[in-house]
Structure 1
Amino acid sequence: MTGKAKQHPALEAVRQSGTGKVKVAVSDIDGVLRGKYLHLDKFFGAAESSFGFCDVVFGWDSSDTCYDNTTLTGWHRGFPDALARIDLDTHRRVPWDNGVPFFLGDFVQADGSPLPICPRQTLKRVLKRAEKLGVQPMCGVEFEWFNFAETPQSWAAKKGVDPQTITPGMFGYSLLRMNHRREYFNALMDEMLAFGVPIEGLHTETGPGVYEVAILFSEALEAADRAVLFKTGAKEIGSRFGVMPSFMAKWSEKYPGCSGHIHQSLSDGKANLFHGAGSPRSMSPLFESYLAGQVAHMMEFGPMIWPTINSYKRLVDGFWAPVKPTWGLDNRTASFRVIAGSPKATRLETRCPGADINPYLAVAAVLAAGLNGVEKGLKLTAPPITGTNEGAENIARAPRTLIETTRIFQRSEVARDWLGDDFVDHFAATREWEWRQWLDGVTDWELKRYFEII
């Protein structure tokens, strides 16, 4: 540990916490936090350099089934310990876990360089390149998610069928529906704030038991940290109230899907570089190049914003989720919504990601696409759409399957340039695996359609 690290205030805060343990967590490839408690002595030893964490967190899927097609981790390597490094700047305490100190970490190789398949390191790679461009990305993440009156036991007993939402009906922006579970939602507002995940707004959305949260914007890495922590924190808090949150992109064909919108701007450390005071659209030339990058390249990063089989069930015409790489001025039907307001508030909202994203990878994807436009000086030639895809008649819609977007991603020179060959090959392999699991599965739709009649 460097002298500066030895003096980090987080270490003294842990010493003064009065606890005998620390909780640490890392993100797996799907954005699920995997973690453990560490004894204080083990924690301080780990804080000096690193600690071992089985690399299976990058070698298995969300059901803990190991991939059979990856190179950098897998059965052929024996799943050794990888080196996890604690990020002392992520220190917070967990209000619902007796205030235990908590830290996030990421992975490094034996020589100290970033592990290329670590999601948090993948985002850091993009941010390092942004720094060379002289810009600091600022982000804020929003999630829509459904809340169910279920427990792990009740859901297992139902065998994955007919979950019970906490409230019925379609009732957006409803104070009445919020009042029904006010203890849960007050806990979300208050305990997330104490956990270092400040919520800017929380309200009901259109659908039974569905809510939307806007997490206060920050520097991009912190924004992704907050987004990852919100998803896990909501589940941990919800369990106390008999609530099971689900960030699945589309749990029922009857209702709109759940989004994971990402707001972005670029700063020079003092001012918002997206604001163009002399422009008719209040967009700076840098903003236009950034937006041009997303219009041109976002579809090449498809599996990073639509990472599951279910993600594509959300991409239905007429159900709010945008299905084409379009942009518009304050148009919520476009993939890229330009919010051109005051110098402070001017930003881009990328609306195509779903709530099932790994926030580190989704933020890395939108920034890489946009910053590539800045780096290449792309011009915004595509006109804005009006209404719902009016003006986008000749623009191809997004693919409807994970395997299609994965193949596009795997061939993308832009993705490989920004994310590295090792990450692209590994992540593409994990998505191909996910697709194969789907191909082998027999669904209730098939049983209902074919069991008796065929």
Structure 2
Amino acid sequence: MPTRTPPPALAELRKSGATKVKVAVSDIDGVLRGKYLHIDKFAGACEGGFGFCDVVFGWDMLDSPYDNTTATGWQHGFPDALARIDLGTARRVPWDNGVPFFLGEFVNADGTPHPLCPRQALKRVLARASRLGYTVMAGMEFEWFNFRETPQSWAAKRGQPPEPITPGMFGYSILRMADHPGFFNALMDEMLAFGVPVEGLHTETGPGVYEAALVFCEALEQADRSILFKTGAREIGKRFGIMPSFMAKWSQQYPGCSGHIHQSLSDGKSNLFYDADSPRRMSRLFESWLAGQLKCLMEFAPLFWPTINSYKRLVDGFWAPVKPTWGLDNRTASFRVIAGSPKTTRLETRCPGADVNPYLAMAAVIAAGLHGVEQGLALTTPPITSTNQGAEDIPRAPRSLIETTRILRESRIARDWLGDTFVDHFAATREWEWRQWQDGVTDWELKRYFEII
């Protein structure tokens, strides 16, 4: 029987003397779940995959199993699902002694994509784009607050206000960058070494707020980088006694945290969104892409706003847009058209918060845009000017997760792009999240009713 040649990535690992490998997969909420594998176990996993308990799709972010799902759950006994390592995601973790690291995704026993896997959901949408002849290019930006906390100190506070690493409202501050230069520089330098290059990093408006923009690249790689950035920032922060939070809105007093997604389409040679002959420098393809997102925003909304807290960010008068609007270089619109040179022309979808699962938010943005392209939708809605001027008759976004979840569940467009099994399961997980909120008693209720009523 002939000897099989090991994949180059595995051969390089053995040559390097590595004895263990770190692997991770995304759960429904965009939380990376992973483990270390012995190098021999990893070698076997490279060939045939490895077992990973399917509870990662059957519980919430605090490990409480859902009681309303059918594709996984107690009724199935939480068996192993088959995880496949993507050798193309190879990198080393600079802050973990350079341990080799790989991302994985889930497949069925016959090798077909697992219907609940977030990374596979994005790949499903990208495969459809490829069949249309397009390569999707993307970038992500994240805003997040940083606190002088540890898991232990935060648990001891029982939800009371955390301590930001800097005071005041001071965006684009050179001065505040100097308050924690070790952490600031580690984010730039160690993320680059981790294969997650940061294009720009600065302070944002709010105590202890940073914003990072990741370098533009193909969409799947961008989603990989994004989920790794969120986890990596937390791991790096531990070394400096800093706890980053990508929660959409941690305080009523301050702006929320966004997760903007930039997109363009390429044929492998040029930016297909650019048209020098158009007064707006927008191609007809770009206009159909934008029309699709305007039309489909609410049908994919729980993938942009996946938590109870997401909707606390959607407040009139703050930076987060609350209506499906578009504008030319207008940051108050949900969809900001940046139309200039062949290199820079793109769409910035400003609706998502920093609490997104990057795979699912990216899948939703691209599916909505491609729906507009497939249907040849015309851009008939005029751009807004100033702050929502021209949007008076456009309905605002719903203010709760259960409302948008019901829209998603009934959406034929979402089912067409993401599949019935995924939509039913994801909708069930959001309904579960809503029920947990319904059962909770908050400090707002205690402050309002405890003494007076």
Q: Per the shorter chain, which TM-score range?
A: over 0.9
Partner of 2:143: 144
2:178 is paired with a residue whose SS is helix
Equivalent position amino acid for 1:206 in 2: T
Partner of 1:256: 255
2:304 & 2:266 partners in 1: Cα distance? 24
Partner of 2:12: 13
Partner of 1:24: 23
8 Å CA contact 1:276–1:282 kept in 2: the answer is yes
Tell me how far 1:6 sits from its aligned partner: 4.8
Tell me how far 1:111 sits from its aligned partner: 0.8
Partner of 1:99: 98
1:379 & 1:49 partners in 2: Cα distance? 47
Counterparts in 2 of 1:6 and 1:171: CA distance versus 1, 3 Å: farther
Partner of 1:184: 183
Q: Deviations over 1:100-159 (max 9, x none)?
A: 000000000011100010000000000000011100100000000000000000001111
Partner of 1:436: 435
1:103 is paired with a residue whose SS is strand
1:123 & 1:225 partners in 2: Cα distance? 11
Equivalent position amino acid for 1:427 in 2: F
Partner of 2:213: 214
Percent identical pairs in the alignment equals 78
2:175 & 2:204 partners in 1: Cα distance? 13
Q: Deviations over 1:222-262 (max 9, x none)?
A: 00000000000000000000000000000000000000000
1:126 & 1:97 partners in 2: Cα distance? 34
1:51 & 1:202 partners in 2: Cα distance? 37
Partner of 2:377: 378
Partner of 2:327: 328
Counterparts in 2 of 1:302 and 1:74: CA distance versus 1, 3 Å: same
Unpaired runs of 5+ residues, structure 2, are: none
Tell me how far 1:10 sits from its aligned partner: 1.7
TM-score, normalisation: structure 2: 0.99
Tell me how far 1:341 sits from its aligned partner: 1.0
Partner of 1:300: 299
1:378 & 1:11 partners in 2: Cα distance? 47
1:218 & 1:73 partners in 2: Cα distance? 34
2:163 & 2:42 partners in 1: Cα distance? 41
Q: Deviations over 1:333-371 (max 9, x none)?
A: 000000001101100000000000000000000000000
2:191 & 2:5 partners in 1: Cα distance? 28
1:8 & 1:206 partners in 2: Cα distance? 47
Equivalent position amino acid for 1:359 in 2: P
Tell me how far 1:14 sits from its aligned partner: 1.3
1:139 & 1:322 partners in 2: Cα distance? 20
Tell me how far 1:7 sits from its aligned partner: 5.6
TM-score, normalisation: structure 1: 0.98
* Pairing 1:287–2:272 present: no
2:52 is paired with a residue whose SS is strand
2:344 is paired with a residue whose SS is coil
2:203 & 2:248 partners in 1: Cα distance? 17
2:334 & 2:320 partners in 1: Cα distance? 8
Equivalent position amino acid for 1:62 in 2: M
Equivalent position amino acid for 1:202 in 2: L
Partner of 1:349: 348
Summarize the alignment of residues 68-87 of structure 1 with structure 2, pairs less than 5 Å apart: 68-87=67-86
1:299 is paired with a residue whose SS is helix
* Pairing 1:245–2:265 present: no
Q: Deviations over 1:373-408 (max 9, x none)?
A: 001100000000001110000000000000000000
1:221 is paired with a residue whose SS is helix
Partner of 1:115: 114
Equivalent position amino acid for 1:397 in 2: R
Partner of 2:272: 273
Summarize the alignment of residues 352-363 of structure 1 with structure 2, pairs less than 5 Å apart: 352-363=351-362
8 Å CA contact 1:297–1:369 kept in 2: the answer is yes
1:424 & 1:157 partners in 2: Cα distance? 37
Q: Deviations over 1:41-69 (max 9, x none)?
A: 00000000110000000000010000000
Q: Deviations over 1:176-226 (max 9, x none)?
A: 101000100100100000000000000000000001000001100000000
* Pairing 1:310–2:320 present: no
1:306 & 1:141 partners in 2: Cα distance? 16
1:87 & 1:228 partners in 2: Cα distance? 15
Bigger drift between 14-23 and 305-314 goes to 14-23
2:33 & 2:8 partners in 1: Cα distance? 25
Tell me how far 1:294 sits from its aligned partner: 0.2
Unpaired runs of 5+ residues, structure 1, are: none
Equivalent position amino acid for 1:284 in 2: S
2:11 & 2:240 partners in 1: Cα distance? 34
1:44 is paired with a residue whose SS is helix
Alignment RMSD (CA, Å): 0.9
1:167 is paired with a residue whose SS is coil
Partner of 2:337: 338
2:16 & 2:430 partners in 1: Cα distance? 42
Equivalent position amino acid for 2:308 in 1: I
Equivalent position amino acid for 2:306 in 1: P
1:6 & 1:361 partners in 2: Cα distance? 35
* Pairing 1:34–2:33 present: yes
Equivalent position amino acid for 1:442 in 2: V
1:395 is paired with a residue whose SS is coil
Equivalent position amino acid for 2:307 in 1: T
2:147 & 2:431 partners in 1: Cα distance? 30
Tell me how far 1:12 sits from its aligned partner: 2.3
2:302 & 2:344 partners in 1: Cα distance? 29
2:6 & 2:17 partners in 1: Cα distance? 19
8 Å CA contact 1:17–1:101 kept in 2: the answer is no
1:268 & 1:12 partners in 2: Cα distance? 34
Bigger drift between 223-232 and 13-22 goes to 13-22
Tell me how far 1:162 sits from its aligned partner: 1.3
2:185 & 2:100 partners in 1: Cα distance? 22
Partner of 1:158: 157
Q: How many residues align?
A: 451
1:356 & 1:10 partners in 2: Cα distance? 32
1:16 is paired with a residue whose SS is helix
1:36 & 1:243 partners in 2: Cα distance? 24
1:187 & 1:336 partners in 2: Cα distance? 32
